[in-house]
Structure 1
Amino acid sequence: MKVTLDNPAGAPQPASPYYSQVARVEHADGSALLFVSGQIAEGATLAEQTRGIFEGLDALLRAHGATLADVVNIRSYLTDIAGLQEYGAVRREFLTGTPPTSMTFEASRLFRPEAQIEIEVVAAVPAPE
């Protein structure tokens, strides 16, 4: 097993120098698990922030040969759980296949005061054929 920590060029960069955006855990057969750090995005509304986050997640995953279709687990943190339906509607625009395992939490505040939502994912990358 090989572990690589990465901040891929062309994808969202970390908000601080104290963490990496992606941990890639490669297995002997060439398959891998990608652990993507929690993401936030700019926007005035929960829907705008959610779209920005999923666009950023897509870029981070693509940098490692994966897509949002490879997501097997998602953890979402909302500052107001009343926004769950709004978040869910945007999430369904991006995660269109079989839904991944999921946990959604209400958090009193996030890393940035303006953030209404933070999302982290785990994706499974198949072995090359």
Structure 2
Amino acid sequence: MRQLISSGAPWEPLVGYSRAVRVGNVVEVAGTTAQDGDAVTGGPDVYAQTKRALEKIGEALAAAGASFADVVRTRIYLTDISQWEAAGRAHGEVFGEIRPASSMLEVKALIRQELLVEIEATAIVAE
């Protein structure tokens, strides 16, 4: 069974994607940013933007019947890799001892100039 989880963003149907998809016991959460409506939560603060993106990932996981404890992999995309410690601190506060496999990469840009970080997650729900 395929379960699609929407964030309610108006561009999901336009672009043809879901915030998250659950198939069986696997949940994939798409690239998630701190964009809320027309605003970017956290302003020019990588830590604050990372925390907001992770909150939104938590909401998507919950909608799919999963939690942060089920996350086995994250991917963090930063527009400025010199900000890795701020993003890493926020990630560490959420994942603590869960410690999923994680990658952190610098990218040239995200969909809006104000966005500084985007995060993806993969979870496997225990059966």
Per the alignment, residue 105 of structure 1 pairs with 105
RMSD of aligned residue pairs (Cα, Å): 1.3
Q: TM-score, normalised by structure 2?
A: 0.86
Given candidates 14, 20, 23, the residue that maps to 1:22 is 20
Distance in 2 (alpha carbons) for counterparts of 1:62 and 1:82: 32
The aligned residue for residue 29 of structure 1 is none
CA contact (8 A) 1:74 1:121 kept: yes
Where structure 1 has 5 or more consecutive residues not aligned to the other structure, the ranges are: 27-31
* Residues 70 and 125, structure 1, Cα contact 8 Å, conserved in 2: yes
Runs of 4+ in 1 over 2 A off after TM superposition: 2-6, 12-15
- Number of residue-to-residue matches in the alignment: 117
Greater helix fraction, Structure 1 or Structure 2: 2
Go from structure 1 to structure 2 and tell me whether the alpha carbon gap of 1:91 and 1:125 turns closer, same or farther (over 3 Å shift).
same
TM-score when scaled to structure 1? 0.85
Counterpart code for 1:63 = A
2:37 corresponds to which residue? Answer: none
- Equivalent residue, structure 1, for 2:76: 76
Answer yes or no: is 1:58 the counterpart of 2:58. yes
2:8 corresponding residue in structure 1: 13
Q: Counterparts of 1:4 and 1:106 in 2: how far apart (Å)?
A: 31
Q: Is the 8 A contact 1:77 1:119 kept in 2?
A: yes
CA contact (8 A) 2:26 2:122 kept: yes
